[in-house]
Amino acid sequence: MSAGEIDLLPGERVLWAGEPVQRPFYVAADGVIAPAGVILAVAALWFLLVKQPSGGAMAGAVVVLVVGLYGAVGRSAVRYLALGRTTYAVTDSRIIARSGLFRQKERSSELAGLPEPVLKPGPSRTGTLSFAGPGTVTLMGIGEPKRLRDLLVKAIEEAKSRQAPDSSAA
């Protein structure tokens, strides 16, 4: 995402813009979801082949098979492909992620409402920066993640200090 593609708020300035340099196929959550998907898919396939159901039972088994396959590999494949079209930006007031496999969707998180970022190192000097809390933007597959984490820590502190009430105005 270049600075020209970002709809900036009045007075907002871009501190960093980039994209994933490494796209992980599996992430930690897949360690539970993928095996569960395999179990569902195998069970549904067994039911379809051995029991040879008809009507509603067959339709239900096919749905379970599709859900299982999506959990086993589809979810990871969709995320991998979407990361190829993902761009990130950090401004002095928010983090912005633009992503989507077919249609680009923009999400943002206000810096003043974020805790310190958590760095999960990845291969080849890459990593993922995430924040505690639901709905926050996660920066996945970033190059030089320690440098970006340090920039984010400083930007979050500055955003919070701008939002804090001025105690000298009493």
97 and 75 fall within a common domain: no
Nearest to 127 by CA among 135, 139, 116: 139
77 found inside a domain = yes
Please give the average pLDDT of every successive group of 10 residues along the chain, which has 170 residues: 65 94 86 96 97 95 97 94 93 93 90 94 91 88 96 96 69
**Predicted local distance difference test score (pLDDT) of residue 28:** 81
12 and 71 fall within a common domain: no
36 and 67 fall within a common domain: yes
DSSP state of 9: P
Are 124 and 22 in contact by the 8 Å Cβ rule? The answer is yes
- What's the number of domains the chain is made of? 2
170 found inside a domain = no
CA pseudo-torsion sign 80, 106, 11, 95: negative
Amino acid in the structure at residue 10: P
Distance between CA atoms of residues 35 and 29, nearest Å: 11
116 found inside a domain = yes
**Predicted local distance difference test score (pLDDT) of residue 4:** 45
117 found inside a domain = yes
159 and 103 fall within a common domain: yes
Q: What is the CATH number of the domain that holds 14?
A: 2.30.29.30
**Predicted local distance difference test score (pLDDT) of residue 124:** 86
Domain enclosing residue 36, as ranges: 30-81
**Predicted local distance difference test score (pLDDT) of residue 3:** 45
**Predicted local distance difference test score (pLDDT) of residue 131:** 93
